[in-house]
Amino acid sequence: MSVAEYLRQQAAACQRLARNTFDLTTAERLRYMAADLQSKAAEVEDEDRDEFQFPMVPGNGFSGSPDRD
């Protein structure tokens, strides 16, 4: 899966959550996030940057990250 596809899937998930929430503030934020993810997907495609590395935060549960106390 390319980075652009991944970002578009995340945008679609945000849009689904926005449609299914009753909290208007949360829905607005989710729609903003979806638009931002779509924009980043287009940027990645335009620059042909499929080698983009997602940042890894220590202790976030990914393999190789330090265990949480």
- CA atoms within a 13 Å half-sphere pointing along the CA-CB vector of 55: 2
**Model-level pTM greater than 0.85?**
no
| Residue with more model confidence, 13 or 49 | 13
- Is the pLDDT score of 13 beyond 90? yes
Three-class DSSP category at 34: helix
How high is the pLDDT of residue 7? 93
Q: Per residue in 31-63, pLDDT tens?
A: 999 999 999 999 888 876 655 555 555 555 545
Say if residues 44 and 7 touch (Cβ distance below 8 Å): yes
